[in-house]
Amino acid sequence: MPLLLVVGIFLLFPLANAVYFAFVDFDGLDPAPPWVGLGNFTELAQDRAVWAAFRNNVVWIIIGTVAPLAIGLWLALLVWGVERGGIFYRLAFFIPYVLPQVAVGIVWGWIYEPSRGWLNRVLNAVGLDGLATGWLGNPNTALYAVLFTAIWATFGFVFVIFLAALRNVDMELIDAALLDGANAFARVRYIILPQIMPVFIAVTTITLIGGFAVFDIVFVMTGGGPAGASEVLGTYAYSSAFGLNRISYGTTLALVITVMSIPFAVGLNRLQRRLSLEGGGA
């Protein structure tokens, strides 16, 4: 009973409230907003800005999921065999993850600054001044500059989880593979990954769902600009709800984001549970 009460308060009530706002036209002031039925959903489907933000979310989900997984796994494999200094590496790689996203956004905003930022200064120093640009003000680079920052702030989390999972890998199998002449790629592909696959799927789920819900780092660094070049669904929902006082429209978009992420979360969770029950490793 207490669990049902918690679910009702923290899940069902907010969800029902969001569904209600999606079917009315609430501007934040009217105590009796008019019923519009599917009007918000229809407008959302015809809104070009929504589709542009959705494309940015797709880019974010793909790169923002694959890159931290690859970097985190690679670093974990490197540190796995280190006998001294393991604590230092764990702290060094994990610290960016625990920093406030606002602080990360501000610091990297200065790094990307066109005239005094370190990135352009380094490019100029090594003769690559042709690549220097206003990273956050250029529509062609703004999204990727913010995405790179997010990857930098995320891979440490993936690294720590994978490093913990690697401690449960059967070393006898690794030794046997070494005797058989298996190279590093073969050992990772056929021995290590299968044993940590449940953890790998769980981390993939977390990072992938984060791609749907991304908001804070984009909001801090570009606010979705310039000209919507780095706009994602989360920032567009926020600007619609609180910038234009279109609470219902922003809520509808947030509801759609949630619905889109559910199949991925459920599917990957089932896969992770199945692999765990089959004894797929860590």
Mean pLDDT to the nearest integer, 155-169: 93
pLDDT of residue 279: 62
Place of tokens 């981390």: 203
pLDDT in tens, 253-279: 999 999 998 888 888 888 878 877 776
Mean pLDDT to the nearest integer, 69-96: 90
Q: Are 97 and 104 in contact (CB under 8 A)?
A: no
What's the predicted TM-score (pTM) here? 0.89
Q: How sure is the predictor about 225, in pLDDT bands with cuts at 50, 70 and 90?
A: confident
The string of DSSP letters for 142-205 reads: HHHHHHHHHHHHHHHHHHHHHHHHHTTS-HHHHHHHHHTT--HHHHIIIIIHHHHHHHHHHHHH
Mean pLDDT to the nearest integer, 159-166: 94
